[in-house]
Amino acid sequence: MGLLKASAGFKGVRRIGGIARVLIKHGLGDVVERIAGRKDRRVDPSKVKGIPLKPGVLSPRRVRLVLEDLGPSFVKLGQLMSTRADIFPPEYIEELRKLQDRVPPVPITEIQEVITRELKRPIEEIFVKFDQEAFAAASVAQAHHATLPGGERVVVKVIRPGIEKRLREDIRLMYYLADKIEKAFDVGRILAPTNVVREFERTVFRELDMLIEAGSIEKFSHNFKETEEIYIPKVYWDYTTKSVLVMERIDGFKVDQVEEQRAHGIDPKEIALVGLRSFSRQLMEFGFFHADPHPGNVIVMYDGRVSLVDFGITGYLDEEAMRQIANIFLGYAEHDYDMVIEAFLEAGLLDDETIDLESFRIDLKDVSEAFYGRSLQSISVKDVYDQIIQLALKYRIQLPRNLMLLLKTFVQTEALGKIQGSDVSILEFTRPYAKKLLQRGYDAKKMFRNIGRDTRYVGKYAKVMPKFVHDILRQVARGKQRVEIWHEGFQQFDVKLEKGLNRLTVGIVISASILAAALVLNSAQKVLVLSIKFLGLEAVPLTALLGIAGYVIATVLGVWLIISIYRSGKL
């Protein structure tokens, strides 16, 4: 694919040219040459303007600076890359975590146009007060304070106009660059940047739909509706569309304003426990968690309750994943590494045919034992996270996105707990939640539900199986497929079958002889009585002789059959 084909007209060509200039600015002119496939030309480092870094070296700082200069779309891509510690080296992850959405806000006139278009009426009729200046501005959306006609103080989150078109153009260029990097660099084939771009494309457009975020808020509100210590802001659905979200404004302290909380009579350590309880329930009760709990998104209200805001990034866990994670937590808490490894195997993270499980178990124990029984103040979940990532890299374990998102959330939750001065052991704290989840899996109602689900699966397979068999046979008949049947142990099948049938026949004869002899001997009818003086008997009927003969024949045949079976070794 050439440069012109990769771009959409003149704008695409200009954008690629802009990307090339940014790379050259940061001393990556040789990278541009290799991507363009022109190795004969070289850029003179002495003529390159910008930060004096060693040309051609993709240092972590250089990568971050390039992404910042390329604009909001690439900054968000870098933020995603910072969560993939199973792919990128630690020094790059640490640098990419510094990326922030530092973008100037959209002019208020453009924001008002979006609101008017979405809600189909002038902004003056919607709000009695609307702050002209945004209090938060990111690459996808920006937020303003406002007041509704009923006096409700709200936050209005608005998608930046034109961002979707810009993202699609940039993602198309990301695919182009990722493909070129994979072909031009050995490290590109290892890191597979195309897969990273594909994951970015799949997730970023969810942030462009405010209805999805509003639904997440409603789901959290339902999950915590009976929990007094957690408060979820209200969504005003009459004012919410795909591009506009209006939600309740929450007043209070940011979670990292510890001294202000103490001055207001709020115990920060108790706030830390509230956060840990909330996270444990999200993880092991609801299977739906807030995946971006940084200090700006966690508000300590003046009455001591904790409120979560900004639900743009959330994670999901199905029932099976929740159970596996509970086993991992419980296994760690009880030093049961077999339970942990079994959970890894069930989750498909380990393959016992390609991984030396005993070596993995030893490495896992070496990593984990150093952290047992210690409080949040004396350990770092980030250190545990880094150790887990090192294990993943060593054994080439590909971690799914939701698990990486969960690990990142775990690190952020730990950071909040440390800020609040918590001294609890996080493994001990989560143990009862893990046990409760595992016990819930054995409830009768749950078991019947699983049986019903499995029954539906069997019914579905039974429904489609005839079609699959028909398709296979049709392809065989047309010569498109060939069916080969391999069998072993049938070489003397006919001989073995004949022996078996013979023994069965003898057995039937024995049974018939015994039954016939018994009937004859018990019969009151006497036929052809013979006078024989033998052993004190003077008269013996023929029927008695036949009965005795039947018993004798049955006995002889029975003994022979037993000896035959015994000698064959099949007794």
470 vs 250, residue with greater confidence: 250
- Phi then psi for 115, rounded to 5 degrees? -65, -45
Q: Is the pTM of this model over 0.85?
A: no
Q: Give the pLDDT of residue 445.
A: 46
Beta bridge pairs of residue 156: 144, 246
- Residue 232: which of 224, 240, 241 has the closest Cα? 224
**pLDDT at residue 45 tops 60:** no
Lowest mean pLDDT among 136-150, 233-247, 519-533: 519-533
What proportion of the chain, given as a percentage, has pLDDT over 70?
67
**Average pLDDT, integer, range 328-335:** 73
Average pLDDT score over residue span 172-186: 81
pLDDT at 189 (0 to 100): 63
317, 283 in Cβ contact below 8 A? yes
Q: How far is CA 449 from CA 148, 288, 445, in A?
A: 45, 20, 6
Q: What is the pLDDT of residues 452-479, one digit of tens each?
A: 555 555 565 666 677 767 777 777 677 6
Q: In sequence order, what are the residues at sequence separation of 6 or more whose Cβ sits closer than 8 angstroms to the Cβ of residue 219? A: 288
Q: Look at residue 364 and tell me whether its pLDDT is greater than 50.
A: yes
pLDDT at 444: 43
* Lowest-pLDDT choice from 111-125, 291-305, 502-516: 502-516
Domain segments of the chain: what residues? 103-193+203-224+233-249, 251-442, 493-568
Confidence of residue 521 (pLDDT cuts 50, 70, 90): low
Average pLDDT over residues 103-129: 93
Mean pLDDT for the chain overall:
76
pLDDT of residue 10: 46
- Is the pLDDT at 224 greater than 90? The verdict is yes
**Quick one: pLDDT band at residue 540, thresholds 50, 70, 90?**
low
Q: Which of 30, 86, 170, 292 is catalytic?
A: 292
pLDDT of 297: 86
At residue 430, the pLDDT reads 75
Please report the pLDDT score of residue 125 as a whole number: 93
* Rounded Cα–Cα distance for residues 350 and 398 (Å): 9
* Helix, strand and coil in the chain, % to nearest 5: 60, 10, 30
Name which residue leads in pLDDT, 360 or 424: 360
CB 422 within 8 A of CB 376: yes
Least confident segment among 88-97, 228-237, 442-451, 557-566: 442-451
Annotation says 292 is catalytic: yes
Q: 24-57 b/e with 16+ CB inside 10 Å = b? A: bbbbbbbbbbbbeeeeeeebeeeebeeeebebee
Give yes or no for residue 451 having a pLDDT over 60: no
Copy the structure tokens of residue 37: 């496939």
* pLDDT band for position 182 (cuts 50, 70, 90): confident
